[in-house]
Structure 1
Amino acid sequence: MTEDYLMERRTLLRGLAAAAVAAPAAAVLGQQQAQAAATANYYVGTTEQTKNKVLVFPKNKAFSDANVHWSFSPGGGAWANLSDVKFRATEAQGWIGLMVASGGKAGIVNIGSEKHTELNDLAWSATPGGNPHAIERVPGNGSVIVASSEGKLTVYAPSSVANLGSLAKVQTVDYAGAHGVLWDPTYELLWVVGKNRVSHYAVTGSKRNTRLKYGRHFSLGSGNLGHDLQPDYTNRQKMLLTATKGVYELLTDGGSFRTRRISTERSVKSYVKHSSGEVVSVKGDGTQPREWANKTVRFSASPDRTRSGAQFYKARIWTTAFQ
């Protein structure tokens, strides 16, 4: 054998040995991450459309009536089919819950000592109409934006930021298929997802002079209705959105905004990543009476949670953090 051959042989063997060590190490790391996600104990907020309630449960317990941590029950009518809930913090009221319903309504309720809230607990409500699907509040400014899937954003602004009841409609913006809306505090932009695109807006002015100013849109491709827009709590430079053709990351690092598809799974109605790395999602099961809903909330590293007779549409992490 030549000396060159022997050297190549030793190099190859060293490489194989290193790979043999690295592979188990990577597997162990993956197992540790999955275990951390599985053992993380946090709360999950849901919009459940059979009983039409916002229901918050501890992740590590059955989604039963006995384990409800907090709820909002608006009844039916214009409040039928609750379609979004977000939890936000205010200086004056502390935690608040923002909700919209496909029946046409939007509202805000204080989250305080009362465990089970109802319509009479609302601090503010309005009727944006057009099948409301998402709601967001801009911190500091105090304005509230509702995305309606029939094609509009409705902006409500306060005369006093500390007074939730002073919110009034100040602007309507056309936006085809508006389904999701999320505030990005890093770049101070309001992101919206709808028909074939995701866009950002600046929030200008204050109080009743608040207005949305269009910035830029990013294509999701034709025939691709954007659906939900949520944080990735493991990465401040990333948001997660669902659409007809799959699940996407919206990457914002360095201000160079772009999207990347991470899954081709369809009918995913909500998708969010907890700070532990665990993904919480709801997939429409395609059955009547609400094919967009499911009795099961899915967890990527823990047992799924099924509630008999339920029709969950959205699942949220019980936190006031934007990212």
Structure 2
Amino acid sequence: MKKYLWMLVAVCFLSACSKDEEEGPYVPWRPGDQTEETIELDKATKVMILTEQSKNRILMIDQPTGKIAWEWKAADSGLSVSEQAWFNTPDEAKPVYNRTCVLVTASGGGVALIRIADKKVLFYAKPGGNPHSAEVLPDKNIVVASSTGNLLSVYVYNEDASYVSKPAFTMPVYSAHNVVWDRTRNCLWTATGAQLLKLSYNGNRTAPELSQVYSYDMGTGNTMAHDLAPVYGEEAMYVTTVEHVYKFDCKTAKFSDVQIFQQKDIKSLSTGPEGYSTIVMRPTSGGSNWWSAEVCDLGGNRLFNRAGYQIYKARWYVENPFGYPEVHTL
């Protein structure tokens, strides 16, 4: 009888463990994958753009296979040694111009527009002040947000000279971390502190100016805005702060809470068309570090992981109908 009771207890224990495992988070990626393999970009199916800081590079990863579809380093770009240092610690990479180019910023002080086909640097500058994001404006000018510089800088794009030595316009914005163009409302958005700012742009390519139209307050308890990204297929944006994640409806000008596995310290979110998960970057390196080796979804499920990587932001390599027209070329 005692033997039977012990067997019954063991079966119950094993059943409980099995149930716990079944109800745990789904991990659709291979844990601890360390091998770098490559694939042609035109053969990749779902591509993520990563700012990978361990080797100061921009990577395009085919998410289903984990293979590298494209890579850019400043050291391979023809820039001088001093200019290459501007692109240390890359922190943003956005696909622009119908995905023919990538717009990159780096904490080393630089901003660059890179043509994907041949990796040529079409535009670059050094705003300094820890550039954290950039955006292309309708007239091809480029606006940069510098966080410790507390500044938005607008550069005049020049087809004849890739290097632009100084901005044509600057605007003080506290802890400027992000910029997003809104094609429908013909305005520029930037989140700062606990506010979302709506800015107008004069559209004068040679004498550009930005000015504040309105400010929208986030909930109490927010201290520092970080990421701002369009929600694919909606007139809305995700806004992250140190403390919270919101969705901002541009039509109603209202913030709503986002159901996400972690509210604090989200570095980036990115969405895509049907079949694409919302990808999330948050630090997992501990201490005062700000990077992670993995990309996950809103539920915390791992979508990509590579030992040794130091990923800061991740974006889907998809079109951006929120900001750009269907045909969007240089």
Range into which the TM-score falls when normalised by the shorter chain: 0.7 to 0.9
Q: 1:100 aligns with which of 98, 105, 114?
A: 105
Is the Cα contact below 8 Å between 1:45 and 1:54 reproduced in 2? yes
Q: Secondary structure at the match of 1:274?
A: coil
What aligned pairs does 1:97-176 form with structure 2 within 5 A after superposition? Answer: 97-112=102-117, 114=118, 117=119, 121-139=120-138, 141-150=139-148, 151-158=150-157, 165=162, 169-176=167-174
1:126 Cα shift? 0.7
1:274 matches 2:272: yes
What aligned pairs does 1:130-279 form with structure 2 within 5 A after superposition? Answer: 130-139=129-138, 141-150=139-148, 151-158=150-157, 165=162, 169-220=167-218, 221-235=220-234, 237-253=235-251, 256-263=252-259, 265-276=263-274, 278-279=277-278
Equivalent residue pairs, number = 265
Q: Distance in 1 between matches of 2:163 and 2:59?
A: 27
- Structure 1's unaligned 5+ residue stretches are 1-33, 35-39
1:258 Cα shift? 2.1
Q: Secondary structure at the match of 1:304?
A: strand
What's the C-alpha RMSD, in Å, of the aligned pairs? 2.4
Q: 1:79 aligns with which of 87, 98, 105?
A: 87
Is the Cα contact below 8 Å between 2:49 and 2:315 reproduced in 1? yes
Q: Distance in 1 between matches of 2:142 and 2:237?
A: 20
Amino acid at match of 1:143: N
Q: Distance in 2 between matches of 1:186 and 1:59?
A: 31
Q: Distance in 1 between matches of 2:272 and 2:222?
A: 30
TM-score (norm 2): 0.74
Structure richer in helix, relative to its length? 1
Report the more deviating stretch, 76-85 or 42-51.
76-85
Q: Distance in 2 between matches of 1:303 and 1:124?
A: 35
1:58 Cα shift? 1.1
CA deviations 1:141-168 (Å, max 9, x no partner) are 111010011211011123x5x5573755
1:88 matches 2:96: yes
Percent identity of the aligned residues?
A: 23
CA deviations 1:261-298 (Å, max 9, x no partner) are 2246111111122212521011112525x621100011
Q: Distance in 2 between matches of 1:298 and 1:233?
A: 18
